[in-house]
């Protein structure tokens, strides 16, 4: 596949540190790390690998995975020499969330089925009580992939309350370089499974957070002090890379990639990321993500050329992104990218090309669903620019 290069995003696609990031105002909405047992990893995919390893998933075992997925959900299954089996998804009648097809899952269960991975897409918690019951009946381990849903739940079922494990991707919600977690109310994981901390990685985690903030003109008061130090860092880092034979200085997830490196499975979350998560103003995070999401929804509600994936945002949802269905993705995508609009494309590339035919909804979402940032560190001016640009391009090509 030919690599295409677009302009760098003019606004941050994920949270960056600012003077307003920190505070003691905690959210009234629960987060997955509030569960009884939590292990902090470098990424969500590492957490999946540890969870599957915990249940001794291996050769001849099958793991049920949704057809609409990121390949990093599948890589840990392959790493353990197990077989991924893909079930279809559907959208509920109210068009408020995507969910697993229980009918599809029932047809795929065999004596070799060891675990089920179920995803809460874009921060919307799917109806899961029936899945809990089915997995309990069939003695299948259930792992909730909450990479899009660090906060959330509903009045009937708190997130992760009944599953075996919940995996999270903290770096999607906090202004950190790396970060995932494996959480459970029932299974206690030993803390000593991690290897010793990598000093180079710890330094890179801190420096990257500062660099991204300065790039997007945050923390300007300290930029005069940091700029010379960061220039020196670049010089020294290039020297180190020329002499070193190491292939990876950080997990792929931290660099925005989808690859899976087994060497990072048993590495702990960096100290910088743990500190940022602890000090972040969760109340502000929740409030602004919901507010920014609703602004996207309101502004694009009547625009020609596309529509919001979901018709509403539940009161317990803290969105990861704003998912939007574009009528002409092959035309709109390169235009927006070259204008500097940040776009995520979850599920754009699937593990197996045959899955596009297996699930028509997955096929459609993979091609048409763009995700725009609604995180808490977007300034009002940045959000207005992004919305105005998207509206203009959609209207022009409707």
Distance CA 276, CA 23 (A): 11
Q: What number is the average pLDDT over the span 152-156?
A: 62
What pLDDT digit, counting tens, does each position of 163-213 carry?
A: 899 999 999 999 999 999 999 999 998 878 998 888 889 988 988 898 899
DSSP 3-state of 372: strand
pLDDT, position 246: 53
- Under the banding of pLDDT at 50, 70 and 90, the label for residue 94 is confident
Q: What number is the average pLDDT over the span 25-44?
A: 89
pLDDT, position 61: 97
pLDDT, position 227: 63
Please give the share of the chain, as a percent, with pLDDT higher than 90. 66
Would the pLDDT of 158 be above 50? yes
Would the pLDDT of 363 be above 70? yes
| Dihedral sign for Cα atoms in the order 29, 309, 357, 5 | negative
Q: Return the exposure string of 65-104: e unless at least 16 CB atoms fall within 10 Å of the residue's CB, then b.
A: bbbbbbbbbbbbbebbebbbbbbbbeeeeeebbbbbbeeb
pLDDT, position 133: 92
pLDDT, position 259: 76
Distance CA 225, CA 205 (A): 19
What pLDDT digit, counting tens, does each position of 39-61 carry?
A: 999 999 999 999 999 999 999 99
pLDDT, position 162: 77
DSSP state of 38: E
Would the pLDDT of 229 be above 70? no
Q: What is the DSSP string of 207-259?
A: HHHHHHHHHTT-SHHHHHHHHHHHHHHHHHHHHHHHH---S-SS-GGGGT---
The whole-model pTM stands at 0.91
* Distance between start and end Cα atoms, the chain: 29
Distance CA 84, CA 73 (A): 10
Q: How far is CA 234 from the centre of its chain?
A: 28
Arithmetic mean of pLDDT over the chain: 89
Would the pLDDT of 1 be above 60? no
Q: Which residues contact 172 (CB under 8 A, 6 or more apart)?
A: 14, 147, 148, 150, 320
Q: What is the DSSP string of 147-213?
A: TT-SB-B-SS-BTTSSSSEEEE-GGGTSS-SS-EEEEESS-PPPGGGSPPP-HHHHHHHHHHHHHHH
CA dihedral 255, 77, 134, 139 (to 10 degrees): -130
Q: What number is the average pLDDT over the span 338-347?
A: 96
| Dihedral sign for Cα atoms in the order 241, 246, 249, 254 | positive
Would the pLDDT of 2 be above 50? no
pLDDT, position 260: 84
Q: What number is the average pLDDT over the span 15-27?
A: 89
What pLDDT digit, counting tens, does each position of 278-315 carry?
A: 999 999 999 999 999 999 999 999 999 999 999 889 88
Distance CA 30, CA 43 (A): 20
**Tokens encoding 187:** 């299974």
Query: Considering only 70-74, 241-245, 382-386, which range has the smallest mean pLDDT?
Result: 241-245
Q: Which residues contact 126 (CB under 8 A, 6 or more apart)?
A: 97, 98, 99, 100, 118, 119, 120
Q: How far is CA 134 from the centre of its chain?
A: 26
**Tokens encoding 312:** 């509403």
- What CATH number is given for 282-396 in this structure? 3.90.1150.10
What pLDDT digit, counting tens, does each position of 243-269 carry?
A: 555 556 667 776 666 778 889 999 999
Please give the share of the chain, as a percent, with pLDDT higher than 70. 88
- Under the banding of pLDDT at 50, 70 and 90, the label for residue 230 is low
Would the pLDDT of 155 be above 80? no
pLDDT, position 223: 62
| Dihedral sign for Cα atoms in the order 360, 362, 366, 372 | positive
- CA-nearest of 306, 293, 295, 302 to 123 is 293
Q: Could you tell me the residue ranges of all domains in the chain?
A: 282-396
What is the Cα gyration radius of the chain? Answer: 21
Tokens 């200085």, located at residue: 249
> Do residues 150 and 277 make contact, with C-beta atoms less than 8 angstroms apart?
no
Distance CA 325, CA 297 (A): 12
Q: What number is the average pLDDT over the span 152-165?
A: 73
């Amino acid at each position: 596949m030919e690599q295409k290069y677009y302009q760098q995003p003019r606004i941050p696609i994920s949270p960056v540190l600012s003077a307003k990031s920190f505070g003691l105002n905690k959210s009234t909405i629960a987060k997955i790390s509030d569960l009884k047992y939590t292990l902090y990893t470098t990424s969500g995919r590492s957490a999946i690998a540890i969870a599957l390893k915990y249940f001794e998933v291996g050769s001849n075992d099958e793991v049920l995975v949704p057809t609409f997925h990121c390949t990093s959900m599948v890589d840990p299954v392959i790493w353990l020499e197990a077989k991924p089996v893909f079930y279809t998804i559907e959208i509920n009648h109210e068009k408020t969330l995507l969910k697993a097809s229980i009918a599809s899952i029932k047809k795929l269960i065999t004596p070799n089925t060891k675990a089920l991975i179920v995803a809460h897409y874009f921060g919307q918690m799917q109806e899961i009580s029936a899945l809990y019951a089915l997995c309990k009946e069939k003695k299948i381990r259930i792992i909730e992939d909450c990479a899009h849903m660090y906060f959330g739940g509903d009045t009937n079922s708190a997130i992760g309350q009944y599953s075996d494990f919940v995996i999270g991707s903290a770096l999607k919600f906090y202004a950190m370089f790396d970060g995932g977690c494996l959480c459970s109310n029932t299974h206690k994981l030993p803390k000593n499974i991690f290897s010793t901390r990598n000093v180079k990685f710890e330094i890179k985690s801190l420096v990257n957070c500062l660099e991204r903030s300065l790039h997007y003109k945050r923390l300007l008061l300290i930029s005069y002090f940091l700029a010379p130090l960061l220039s020196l860092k670049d010089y020294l880092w290039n020297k180190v890379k020329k002499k070193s034979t190491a292939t990876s200085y950080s997990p792929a997830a931290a660099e925005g990639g989808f690859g899976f490196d087994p060497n990072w499975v048993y590495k702990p979350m960096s100290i910088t990321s743990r500190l940022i998560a602890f000090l972040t103003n969760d109340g502000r995070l929740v409030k602004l993500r919901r507010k920014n999401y609703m602004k996207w929804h309101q502004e694009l509600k009547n625009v020609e050329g596309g529509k919001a994936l979901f018709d509403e945002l539940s009161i317990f949802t803290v969105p990861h992104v704003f998912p939007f269905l574009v009528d002409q993705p092959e035309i709109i995508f390169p235009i927006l990218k070259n204008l500097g609009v940040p776009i995520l494309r979850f599920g754009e590339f699937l593990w197996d090309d045959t899955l596009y035919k297996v699930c028509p909804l997955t096929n459609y979402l993979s091609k048409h669903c763009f995700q725009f940032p609604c995180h808490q560190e977007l300034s009002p001016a940045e959000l207005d620019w992004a919305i105005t640009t998207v509206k203009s391009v959609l209207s022009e090509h409707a």
